[in-house]
């Protein structure tokens, strides 16, 4: 998600990025996992190609964590070796303590539970329809069909 860093002038030299990952698995609890932030390196992902002083905000949402907390994380080295300013935030749990807009805990629990069965929408059809359905939701998961139309897998395997 882009944001303007200083002022309201829209220019490449003034655009920062907010990067995030959402994890809905109990193995992502209250202990921040630095490798998840490292994988959002703005240089190795191709977001930045030249040094910049614009900060990058990286957030990991560990939605299924049992305890709710927000923690600022110090990640250390970057994956690319480039120096950049980053604000890394680990958000554990789901509820009004974290997202104050909704105060009914039942709503948050229902949303969390509903998200566990998302793969069910790809069941009950033949293999070709499954592939086509996954291609229509690019980047949704790690399965190849979610990326086939957007990433050259053969080029990646050569690297």
> What is the reported pTM?
0.70
Task: With H, G, I as helix, E, B as strand and everything else as coil, classify residue 72.
Answer: strand
Q: How far apart are CA 101 and CA 148, in angstroms?
A: 37
- Would you say residue 159 has pLDDT above 80? no
- Would you say residue 21 has pLDDT above 70? yes
Q: What residue ranges do the domains of the chain occupy?
A: 2-101, 117-159
The continuous run of DSSP H or E covering 59 comes out as strand 56-62
How many beta carbons lie within 10 A of that of residue 122, not counting itself?
Answer: 17
158: left (phi > 0), else alpha (psi -120 to 50), else beta?
A: alpha
Q: How far apart are CA 148 and CA 34, in angstroms?
A: 28
Could you tell me if 39 and 79 are in contact, meaning their C-beta atoms sit under 8 angstroms apart?
yes
pLDDT of 6: 87
- The gap between the terminal CA atoms of the chain, to the nearest Å, is 28
Burial code of 63-75, b = ≥16 C-beta within 10 A, e = fewer?
bbbeebeeeebeb
pLDDT of 154: 61
């Amino acid at each position: 998600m882009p944001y303007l860093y200083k002022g309201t002038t829209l220019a490449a030299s003034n655009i920062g990025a907010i990067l995030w990952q959402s994890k809905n698995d109990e193995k992502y609890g209250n202990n921040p996992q630095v490798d998840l932030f490292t994988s959002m390196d703005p240089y190795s992902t191709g977001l930045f190609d030249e040094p910049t002083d614009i900060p990058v905000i990286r957030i990991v949402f560990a939605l299924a964590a049992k305890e709710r907390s927000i923690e600022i994380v110090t990640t250390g080295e970057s994956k690319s070796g480039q120096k950049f300013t980053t604000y890394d935030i680990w958000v554990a749990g789901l509820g009004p303590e974290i997202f104050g807009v909704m105060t009914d805990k039942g709503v948050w629990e229902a949303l969390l539970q509903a998200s566990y069965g998302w793969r069910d929408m790809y069941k009950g059809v033949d293999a070709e329809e499954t592939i086509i359905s996954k291609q229509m939701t690019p980047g949704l998961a790690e399965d190849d069909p979610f990326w086939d139309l957007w990433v050259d897998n053969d080029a990646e395997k050569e690297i």
